[in-house]
Amino acid sequence: MLSALIVNAGNYLYNLIVGRILGPEAFADAAILITFLLVTSFLAMTFQLVTAKYTVIFEDEVETSFVNFITKKTVILGLVLGALIVIFHKQLQEAFNTQTSSMFLIFGFGVPIYFLMSVNRGIFQGKEKFIKLSITYQLEMISRLVITLVLLWFINFLEPSILISIGILASLFFSLFPFQLQHVFKSTVKLNEDQITMVKKFFVLTAFYECTQIIINNSDILLVKHYFDNYQAGLYASLALIGRVVYFVAWMFVMLLLPAVVNKQKDGLPHGPILLKYVGYISLLSCIIVIVSFLFPEFVVNILFGEAYIEISPLLWKYALATSIFAVSNVFAYYFLSIDQYIPVVITGLLGVTQVLLITYFHKDLEEVVVMQIIAMSILLAVQLLFFFTKTSKSQSLKKED
């Protein structure tokens, strides 16, 4: 948790410095690239979570065989997605109104590396080797921060977005260390059909959920970049970055939640109290952030991004509220996912699509975009809570009957 806090703080510092150096208009392009990195991280998280879960469940040669299986699939998909980004980099420039297409071209080459790194991290997470896991995150964050700032400081003949994409690509190589996959292809045992089916089922559901995460977390920035000019998009990008601090901190708890719940379920022990504990932590944190954003919006924006972004300050508490609601509902969703309860995952997907539709039809100004997210996320949390308490009451009734 301490490492995750440092990594998120470092990533935050990276975004804040880039935002201050570039100003709202240029930062709009940089924010698109950073959003693409977040989208990639959510896709790669599918492989990390699947790897984490089944390194807990499988043992010895079967575990090695599983890692072999998932690594091959990861590399293939990473190469395909990376190639698609490289091939369609011109079309991506047109879709998101960026100054250059080269930033997408460079970014595409990093996708396979990111996917491979996700399996590496999944092994550390599943085996609860949190020190090694933290090192991979630290190296990625520090290298990206240092390399990007050096490039922006010393090179002024290239577009800033190109320099940022180079910094991102370079940092992905550092994120591969420490490397755990050297002996992955030496397994002599193959997974049986039942095991492969089980893995594929969890993979598909996890991939579906991560896609909903992409929609909910990033569709607003992409849609704002499409519907508004660069100045407004840059302001909104700074708003999103400040408001999402609660989500990034909440992710620390999710990283600890999944292996803990899977282990409890494996041993036949109750795991509901673990969920409620983490929900309590995140709810308290969320309340503090929303209150501070409501009471001191101009101070927060000025300290983090500077005077150029002060116009967005009235929306800060509303965006923080939307993100807080989503962060709490997200903990419920990952909990259900870890115990093979998939209805909440489908519900999250439906609400993610609902959010996109609401923003698509209601985007008169930036405030309306934020309000649409509050509405969608409030419905999502209400449904998640209803599902949880319904399942809990049913379980307690069955125990009493027994």
CA distance 120 to 51: 9
Q: Contact at 8 Å (CB) between 53 and 258?
A: yes
What pLDDT is recorded for position 369? 93
Q: Residue 371 corresponds to which amino acid?
A: V
Q: What is the mean pLDDT of residues 380-391?
A: 86
Confidence of residue 396 (pLDDT cuts 50, 70, 90): low
Q: Residue 142 corresponds to which amino acid?
A: I
Which residue reads 């939307």 in tokens?
322
What pLDDT is recorded for position 183? 56
Q: What is the mean pLDDT of residues 120-146?
A: 90
CA distance 4 to 14: 15
CA distance 245 to 381: 19
CA distance 28 to 235: 8
What pLDDT is recorded for position 143? 94
Residue 255 has pLDDT above 60, yes or no: yes
For residue 9, what are the contacts with CB-CB under 8 A and spacing of at least 6? Answer: none
Q: What is the pLDDT of residues 269-293, one digit of tens each?
A: 776 777 788 788 888 888 888 899 8
Tokens of 6: 């440092």
Confidence of residue 400 (pLDDT cuts 50, 70, 90): low
Residue 151 has pLDDT above 70, yes or no: yes
Residue 395 has pLDDT above 80, yes or no: no
Q: What is the pLDDT of residues 47-106, one digit of tens each?
A: 898 888 888 888 777 888 888 888 888 989 999 999 999 999 999 888 888 888 899 999
Helices 160-174, 130-154: inter-axial angle, 10-degree rounding? 150
Burial (CB count within 10 angstroms: exposed 0-12, middle 13-18, buried 19+), residue 15? buried
Residue 193 has pLDDT above 90, yes or no: no
CA distance 262 to 340: 10
What pLDDT is recorded for position 59? 78
Q: Residue 230 corresponds to which amino acid?
A: N
Q: What is the mean pLDDT of residues 367-375?
A: 93
Average pLDDT, the chain: 84
Q: What is the mean pLDDT of residues 42-50?
A: 86
For residue 17, what are the contacts with CB-CB under 8 A and spacing of at least 6? Answer: 145, 149
